[in-house]
């Protein structure tokens, strides 16, 4: 038998990104390959990491993004709708984050801790759909997020308690992941990296697979 050596694929991921959601099913399938290990690296939403970049975006660009995401979801056969409410609280009619952020911190505490437990993909399989598939308006109410985390095989209250004990560590980890993105050559998500080569955007997934297939086992 031929021995398979794991090819590590890092995927820098934001819960706020519709394009990460569009990549979800393909990422789950990729991780099933015996020769591939997918490593999810959480990064904060771009509007929080790089506020000046998003503030400069025009209405034309925002409108095109909305149309492109819906078209790509239709093409992929994915249920899709903008999260209601958005994980990030925005200033009205702008891509500018509001000063108060009541939702994103808790989501990222759960996300980072799920990654540390080795359950990143199980977490994303549940929580990204909760946010983005359009079936759960008011996803932030009741115990909907916690129930999704439980479906991923995790204890949300235990994760949050651990996160509270390592606030500085979580912030440092997110900052390090952001720096790694830049070091690899891009700032946007989803950013897939194999053997030091960055592939930005869900539309580069096939080229990533092509590289993986050409790499020596």
> pLDDT value at position 2?
45
Residues whose CB falls within 8 Å of the CB of residue 2, separated by 6 or more in sequence, listed in order: 217
φ and ψ of 9, to 5 deg: -120, 115
SS3 breakdown of the chain: % helix, strand, coil, rounded to 5? 55, 10, 35
| Residue 34 covered by a domain | yes
| Residue 2 covered by a domain | no
| Residue 1 covered by a domain | no
| Residue 209 covered by a domain | yes
Q: What is the pTM of this model?
A: 0.94
Q: How many structural domains compose the chain?
A: 1
> What is the enclosing helix (H) or strand (E) of 39?
strand 36-42
Instruction: Give the structural domain span for 152.
Output: 7-214
> pLDDT value at position 4?
54
Name the stretches of the chain with pLDDT < 50: 1-3
Domain with residue 28: its CATH number is 3.40.30.10
| Residue 109 covered by a domain | yes
58 is written with which tokens?
Answer: 């025009």
**In this predicted model, what pLDDT tens digit does every residue of 72-117 receive, in sequence order?**
999 999 999 999 999 998 888 778 888 888 899 999 999 999 999 9
| Residue 172 covered by a domain | yes
| Residue 165 covered by a domain | yes
């Amino acid at each position: 038998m031929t021995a398979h050596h794991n090819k590590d694929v890092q995927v820098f991921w934001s819960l706020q990104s519709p394009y990460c959601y569009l990549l979800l099913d393909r990422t789950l399938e990729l991780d099933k390959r015996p020769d591939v290990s997918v490593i999810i690296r959480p990064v904060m939403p771009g509007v929080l990491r790089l506020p000046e970049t998003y503030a400069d975006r025009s209405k034309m660009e925002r409108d095109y993004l909305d149309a492109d995401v819906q078209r790509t979801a239709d093409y992929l056969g994915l249920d899709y709708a903008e999260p209601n409410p958005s994980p990030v609280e925005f200033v009205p009619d702008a891509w500018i984050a509001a000063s108060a952020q009541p939702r994103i911190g808790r989501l990222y505490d759960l996300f980072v801790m799920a990654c540390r437990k080795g359950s990143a993909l199980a977490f994303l399989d549940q929580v990204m759909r909760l946010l983005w598939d359009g079936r759960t308006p008011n996803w932030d109410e009741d115990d909907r997020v916690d129930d999704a985390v439980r479906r991923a095989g995790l204890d949300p209250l235990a994760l949050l308690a651990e996160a509270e004990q390592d606030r500085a560590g979580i912030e440092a980890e997110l900052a390090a992941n952001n720096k790694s993105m830049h070091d690899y050559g891009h700032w946007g998500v989803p950013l897939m990296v194999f053997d030091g080569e960055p592939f930005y955007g869900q539309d580069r997934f096939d080229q990533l697979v092509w590289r993986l297939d050409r790499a020596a086992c």
